[in-house]
Amino acid sequence: MRQFLLLAFLPLAAFSQPNGWNDPFPPHKVMDNVYFVGTKELASFLIVTPAGNILMNSNYEASVPVIKKNVEDLGFKFSDVKILIAGHAHPDHVGGDNAVKELTNAQVVVGTKDAEDTKKYTPAGKTHPIDRLVKEGDTVTLGGTTLTAHEMPGHTPGCLAWSTTLKENGKSYYTFIECSINAQALRSLTQYPGILDDFRATFKKSRTFPVEVWVSSHASFYNLPAKYEKLKAMKPGDPNPFIDPQGFKDHIDDFEKRFETVVATPAPAPGQGKGGFGQGKGAPKQ
C-alpha cells in the first residue's frame, strides 16, 4: 500500500529531508516530449519544445544538482529551461526555485493562491523568485506545447495540476500532471478555513477529467518504480505503462477513503500526540 507522506507538510524551518527522498532515480521518457528528471520520491518533469524547455517542480534546493544531471544525461541542456512551474507551496517542491532561477534565468510560474506561502521558502535568505502568477484555466505555452492549469485545493490552498495532450504511435492521450490529493496533512498542520470542503471538492473535480496518462508530484503516488520496470521491459506493441486511466480512478478512491478516515478519527487528548483531524462525521464545517 502506498505510504502517506507526512513530512511533506512541515514548516521549512523544521523540515529535514526524509531518508531516500532525494536519492537519484533513472531519468526517462514518460511519453512524447515529457520526461521524468526527478529523484527517487520527488517528481520533476521536463517538457521539451523547439523553443526551449519547461521544468515542473524544482524540489529541494539539494535536488537541483540531481535534476540537472538527469536533464543532461537525457541529452538536453539545463540552460535550455525557459519556464519553471511550481506545483504547490511546500519546500520539497519549490525549495530549489532560487537555484534553478540562478542557473537558467527561467520564468518562475506560481499559482496565485499559493503565492504568499511560496514566498516563505527563502534558502539562505534569498527572495523567492516569482515571475508570473496563474489561476484556474490559465495556460503556459512554449514551442507548440500548451499546459492548462487546474486549481485543486486542499493539500495547499492553491495546489495546481496541469493537463496537456501527448501523442504516441499515432494516438493522442489526455495527460494529467497531478499536484497532490494527499490529505495526511490533516494530522500534522494548522488548517486553513474551508480545507475539508476544498478536499471534497477536489476529489469530485478529479473525477471529471478524462485522464488517460497521468503522473504526480511524488513518485510513490503513481507507482513509478513498478511502471518504470514495465517501461524498461517494453517490447514493440506493448502499451505504455503510463497509460493508466483505471489507476488514476483507483488513486482518487484510495486517497479519498484515507481522507475521510482521518476526518472521522477523534483528536487525541492534550499531550497524547497527533491523531485525527478532531472532527467527527457530524462535526460542523469549517
Output the pLDDT for position 36. 98
Say if residue 189's pLDDT is above 80.
Answer: no
pLDDT tier for residue 187 given thresholds of 50, 70 and 90 = low
- CATH, range 15-264: 3.60.15.10
CA-to-CA dists, residue 182 to 39, 218, 241, angstroms: 19, 10, 23
pLDDT at residue 191 tops 90:
no
- Supply the pLDDT for residue 19: 86
| pLDDT for residue 8 | 36
What pLDDT digit, counting tens, does each position of 211-224 carry? 999 999 999 999 99
pTM, whole model, 2 decimals? 0.89
CA dihedral 58, 76, 105, 95 (to 10 degrees): 10
Domain boundaries, the chain: 15-264
Scan for cell 520496470, then name that residue.
229
